[in-house]
Structure 1
C-alpha cells in the first residue's frame, strides 16, 4: 500500500499543476524552454508508468492469495479500475463521433436509447476503420488529407451505412458532397488509448524483482525509464507520445486527450481518497489529500 500511495501522491501534485494552477504550457513540444518542457512530459509519463507498475505488482501478488483475503476491494478497487479505464477505453469518443457525424448530416437519433446509441457507435467505429483504413490510428487527420474524390467516397459509404442501420431514407449524393468537410472533421478525433494488455506490458517493464526485501518488486529508475521510452513496442510508442501537444489554452473538440487526462486525474484522486479510508490512512499526506479533493471537483470540468 505504501508505494501505491506514494505513486498516487506524486501524480496528484502534477495534476494540480494542470487542473488547479493552470500551468500546462509544458505539454506543448514547441514551447520554450524546450528541454525543460520535454523533461516535464517524460517525468509525467514516468509517474503514470510507476503507478501502472505498482498496480501490476498488486495484481501479480493477488493472484497468489486466497479469495477474500485482499484489502484491494470496494472503493479502492473501483478507483484502480477507473484509472485503467481512463487510459484504455474510448466509448465516450465513439459516441461523440456518432453524434457529431449525425448532426453534420441532420440525422436525428434523439429517439434512440443510450444503449442503442452505444451499439450503433461501436458499429460505426468498425465501419469507419473498414472504409478509411488503419492509418487513422497513427494520424487522426488522415481523412482530411485525402483527395476530394476519396473523401466523397468515404462519406458516401458511411452515410449509406448509417441510413441503412437506422432504416431511414438515404441521403442525396449532392447533400453528402456539400457536407463532406464538416462530416470528416466530426470524425477526426485524436486520442491516446493504452489498452489494458498494454498497461500490463508497461507495468511488467517497470518492475524489477527485488531479492532479500520485504517486497518482491521495485520500480526501475528514471534513467532506465528514458531508455525504455526509446523501444519500439506498440505500447511504448503509443505511451511515449500520449501527452505531447495537448493544448489546454485552446479548446480543440477533436483532441479528447484533455478529457482523458481529466478522467485520469479524477481516478488518481479517488484512489488516494480510498486509501485514506482504510487502515493505512496514516500513509496519506494530508496536503496531498486536500489537493485530491480539489481535483475531484476541478477535473470534472475537463471530463465532459
Structure 2
C-alpha cells in the first residue's frame, strides 16, 4: 500500500472519528440540557407546591386545634366578614394544593436523573394527600364496629371479614338510596329504613358468620342503626380532584412553567360570580369543610377524621420537599418543627 493511500485512509478515519465524536458530544449536550430543563421545571413547580402546602398546613393546624379555633367552619352561612373570609380562604388553600399537584403531574410525569428515593418520598406524600380526599375504608370499618356494638354481637371476626362486611354494607345502603332517590339513610321512609336495617343485619351476620339478629331487635334499634349508617361523608374522587385542579390552573404567560394557579382575587370572583359549572366543582370541594364541627362526633361525621388525614398528608408533602434539599430549602424552621410534631403525633396515635 502506497504512502499516499495510507495517508488518505488515515485522514478519512480521523475525519470520521471527529464526526462521530462530535455527534456524540452534541447528543450528550442535548440530553444534559433537557435534563437541566426538566430539573429547572421541576423546581419551578415544587417551590409553589411547598409554599401552598405550608399555607394549607398552618390553616388546617388552626382548624383542628382542640381549643376550637376552627369555629368559623361551623354553619352553612357565615355572617361576619371574618368567618366568610376564613371559610373561603380555607377552600382556596385546598384547591391551590390540588392545582399544583395537577400541574406537576400534567407537565412532569417523572424526573430523569433524580434520586429514586427522593421521587418515591414525594410521590408517596402526594398519593397520601389525594387518598385522604378520596378513600373512606376506615369509615366502613367503623360502621361495622358500631353496628356490632349496637346489636351486641360478641363475635371476633378477622380484619379481612370486617372490611368485607363494611364494603358490602356500604354497597347495600347505596343501592337502597338509589332506588329511593334520596341522599341519605335518614331520608328514607320508616318502612324503607326498617327494610334497610334488616338487610344490613342479615348481611353482617352472613359475612362475619354470627347468629342472625332477631327482627324484634332490629326494629327496636332502627333509629340508632340508621344513625350508624347515615354518617356524613364528603369523598372527593380522584377524577374530581383532577377537575378541581384544572379549574384553578391557567397557562403561564412566561417562564419555564406551563401552568400557574389563579390568585385569591380570581378565586373569590369565581366562587361568587363564576359560571355554574365552575361553582359546581367548588361546591363539591366545599363539602369537605361545609358546616364542619371539628369537635363533633367522629362516628357521625367522617369529615373530621378526613380533614385530619389531609392535615397529616400535607405535612408529609412539606417533609418530602424539605428533605429533597434541606440545605437550600425555603421551608421555615418553625414549619419544619411543626411538621415533625404533627407527624410524630400521628405515628404515636
Question: Are residues 1:63 and 2:105 paired?
Answer: no
SS in 1 for 2:125: helix
Distance 1:96 1:49, change over 3 A: same
1:246 aligns with 2:292: yes
2:239 paired residue number? 197
Q: Deviation per CA, 1:29-62: give whole Å up to 9, x if none.
A: 3687533212211101111111111111111122
**Equivalent position of 1:183 in the other structure:** 225
Task: State the match for 2:57 in structure 1.
Answer: 12
Flag the structure with more relative contact order, 1 or 2, with Cα contacts below 8 A and sequence separation at least 6.
1
Deviation string 1:2-54 (CA, Å, 9 cap, x unpaired) is: 11111111112212322346411111136875332122111011111111111
Which of 153, 157, 172 does residue 195 from structure 2 map onto? 153
Mapped contact 2:75–2:291 kept (Cα < 8 A): yes
Q: TM-score normalised to the size of structure 1?
A: 0.86
Q: Distance in 2 between matches of 1:248 and 1:299?
A: 17
Q: Secondary structure at the match of 1:4?
A: helix
The 3 A distance-change label for structure 1 pair 41 and 179 is same
- The whole-number CA distance in structure 2 between the counterparts of 1:31 and 1:196 is 28
- How far apart are the structure 1 equivalents of 2:300 and 2:104? 35
Higher helix share: 2
Correspondence 1:290 to 2:324: no
Q: 1:209 to 1:123 in 2, by over 3 A?
A: same
Once residues 116 and 345 of structure 2 are traced to their aligned partners in structure 1, the CA distance between those partners, rounded to angstroms, is: 32
Counterpart Cα distance in 1 of 2:179 and 2:346: 32
In the aligned structure 2, how far is the partner of 1:279 from the partner of 1:297? 21
1:163 deviation in Å? 2.4
* Cross-structure match for 2:128: 82
Change (3 A) 1:48 1:97: same
Distance 1:225 1:275 in 2: 26
Gaps of 5+ in 1: none
Does the aligned pair in 2 maintain the 1:19–1:298 contact within 8 Å?
Answer: no
- Asked if structure 1 preserves the Cα contact closer than 8 Å seen for 2:180 and 2:188, the reply is no
What displacement does 1:171 show?
2.3
**1:170: Cα distance to partner?**
2.6
2:176 pairs with one of 128, 131, 134: 131
Which of 292, 296, 316 pairs up with 1:270? 316
- TM-score normalised to the size of structure 2? 0.76
The separation in 2 between residues aligned to 1:167 and 1:293, in whole angstroms, is 43
Cα separation, 1, equivalents of 2:193 and 2:113: 54
Q: Is it true that 1:94 corresponds to 2:140 in the alignment?
A: yes
- DSSP 3-state at the match of 1:84: helix
Whether 1:259 aligns to 2:305 is yes
Q: Which runs of 5+ in 2 are unaligned?
A: 1-45
State the number of aligned residues: 298
Deviation per residue, 1:115-155 (Å, 9 max, x gap):
2221221111111111233789x84xx33344332221221
Larger Rg computed on CA atoms: 2
Report the 3-state secondary structure (helix = DSSP H, G, I; strand = E; otherwise coil) of the residue aligned with 2:212: coil
Residues 141-187 of structure 1, C-alpha deviation per residue, up to 9 Å, x if partnerless?
x3334433222122112222222334443322212111111211111
1:172 corresponding residue in structure 2: 214
Contact 1:263-1:299 within 8 A present in 2 as well = no
